[in-house]
Amino acid sequence: MEYLYWNKDVELFSREEIERIQYKRLRSMVKYCCDNVRLYNERFKKAGLNPEDIKSVKDVTKIPFTFKDDLRENYPFKMFAKPLEEIVRLHASSGTSGSPTVVGYTRNDIETWTELMARTITCPGGHRGDILQNAYGYGLFTGGLGFHYGGERIGAAVIPISGGNTSLQIKLMKDFGSTILTCTPSYSLYIAEYAKQEGVDIEKEIKLRLGIFGAEPSSETLRSKIENSLNIDAFDIYGLSEIYGPGVSVECPEKNGLHVWEDQILPEVIDKETREPVSPGEKGILLFTPLTKEGVPLLRYITNDIASLNYEKCNCNRKMVRMSKVTGRADDMLIVRGVNVYPSQIEHVLMGIPGVGENYQIVVDRDILDTLTVRVEVTQEKFSDRIKDLENFQRMIEERLFEALRVKVKIELVAPGEIPRSMGKAKRVIDLRKENI
């Protein structure tokens, strides 16, 4: 097997070299956070902790956690460690319940992120001369621009087509001879399906060789489905906007876990209940501490993603730890077409609408793309309305939910008491995708 490296010196660091640089960077990062971010200054004081108390990488466990809510509560700029004059980019995650989380990047942050993305595209096999069709969304979401900068850095020709417009995707794929496709796994399947319907001979007319997919959970079954339908090699990536965006980790050609770029990002896994570190190989909640981030530095940021870390040797010779695919969420967040959806947001919208009864049920399924259906019980009074009024009522709820979630939702109105209950409680979320992929 052939292994490519963007920054061979760093990517092939020994464990000792990785830990040496992590310690050096962690120590300055902790001091930087305490000096420049009020939240950290106060938390360290409260914990009776000084930056000097961090005497090894293992001491990271002494540092208090950072939660997504910290970012929300400090909306928009109170977690920034640099004045706005030094910020050159602002991204924000899709607003869940309440404020979105905002991330500001300094020029150095963009440079670091670009370096990580260059490694991330090279590691599965991307290189100069590739034609990279970037079908991740451009905009506040970090996927599009992350791949864009990384692709340009390695010398690929980047097509900034963004998501959607599938017939144009296929036309350019054929006419430009795209060799790499980057998007969510479900969208890649949708493209394949669409091409088939249009009568495109994928093997003859499409030159794609590589797919780099992320922003949604995926399985080995889904991977082989994509590989077969597009005739490519498919790789998983992982990232989140709070930690730059895509480019936190990626699979190498061994496809045996995702190498985390540990010289820049320190990963940990803690137990869901006790919040103590778990042993290597054991599942728990993933945390990250970016080690040189300037704009919005974060210490021990809790992702709520469930995964494990594997320090065993990899054939590609990288000693950087491999994280497993994310197997779930510690909270109840759903990822629908790459967008984060919290059942609590749906509840919040429903409960504000007169005529909505006491129970609802969220059903997520996948029919090539994810579908989100909410079954809503109406009140007895509403239930006796004319059919036409009920149809309008249904459409109004769909619009309100779309406004709140930015994802299309199908509403099914049902009679009071129709949603089955066990022990008096209705099952709120049914995710059928796991069974179907």
Give the residues lining the site for Zn ion (CB under 5 A): 252, 254, 314, 316, 318
Q: Is the Cβ of residue 59 or residue 254 nearer to Zn ion in the bound state?
A: 254
To Zn ion, the closest distance from the beta carbon of 302 in angstroms equals 26
Q: Is the Cβ of residue 254 or residue 398 nearer to Zn ion in the bound state?
A: 254
To Zn ion, the closest distance from the beta carbon of 235 in angstroms equals 11
Q: Is the Cβ of residue 153 or residue 318 nearer to Zn ion in the bound state?
A: 318
To Zn ion, the closest distance from the beta carbon of 123 in angstroms equals 8
Give 422's strand partners. 425
Q: Is the Cβ of residue 240 or residue 316 nearer to Zn ion in the bound state?
A: 316
To Zn ion, the closest distance from the beta carbon of 389 in angstroms equals 60
CA atoms within 13 A on the CB side of 173: 30
Q: 């050159």: which residue's tokens?
A: 88
Cα–Cα distance between 48 and 42 in angstroms, integer? 10
To Zn ion, the closest distance from the beta carbon of 61 in angstroms equals 27
3-class secondary structure for the chain?
A: CCCCCCCHHHHCCCHHHHHHHHHHHHHHHHHHHHHHCHHHHHHHHHCCCCHHHCCCHHHHHHCCCECHHHHHHCCCCCCCCCCHHHEEEEEECCCCCCCCCEEEEEHHHHHHHHHHHHHHHHCCCCCCCCEEEECCCCCCCCHHHHHHHHHHHHCCEEECCCCCCHHHHHHHHHHHHCCEEEECHHHHHHHHHHHHHCCCCHHHHCCCCEEEECCCCCCHHHHHHHHHHHCCEEEEEEEEHHHCEEEEEEECCCCCCEEECCCCEEEEEECCCCCCECCCCCCEEEEEEECCCCCCCCCCEEEEEEECEECCCCCCCCCCCEECCCCEECCCCEEECCEEECHHHHHHHHHCCCCEEEEEEEEEEEECEEEEEEEEEECHHHHCCCHHHHHHHHHHHHHHHHHHHCCCCEEEEECCCCCCEECCEECCEEECHHHHC
Judge contact between 308 and 335, C-beta under 8 A. no
To Zn ion, the closest distance from the beta carbon of 251 in angstroms equals 8
Contacts of 186 (CB under 8 A, 6+ apart): 216, 337, 338, 366, 368, 369, 370
To Zn ion, the closest distance from the beta carbon of 17 in angstroms equals 17
To Zn ion, the closest distance from the beta carbon of 316 in angstroms equals 3
Q: Is the Cβ of residue 2 or residue 276 nearer to Zn ion in the bound state?
A: 2
Tell me which residue of 285, 401, 393, 424 sits closest to 343, measured CA to CA. Answer: 401
Q: Is the Cβ of residue 314 or residue 336 nearer to Zn ion in the bound state?
A: 314
To Zn ion, the closest distance from the beta carbon of 318 in angstroms equals 5
Two tokens, residue 245: 């965006």
To Zn ion, the closest distance from the beta carbon of 261 in angstroms equals 12
Q: Is the Cβ of residue 173 or residue 258 nearer to Zn ion in the bound state?
A: 258
Q: Is the Cβ of residue 143 or residue 239 nearer to Zn ion in the bound state?
A: 239
Q: Is the Cβ of residue 318 or residue 366 nearer to Zn ion in the bound state?
A: 318
Q: Is the Cβ of residue 129 or residue 280 nearer to Zn ion in the bound state?
A: 280
Q: Is the Cβ of residue 252 or residue 334 nearer to Zn ion in the bound state?
A: 252
Instruction: Please give the angle made by the CA atoms of 310, 316 and 320, to the nearest 5 degrees.
Output: 40
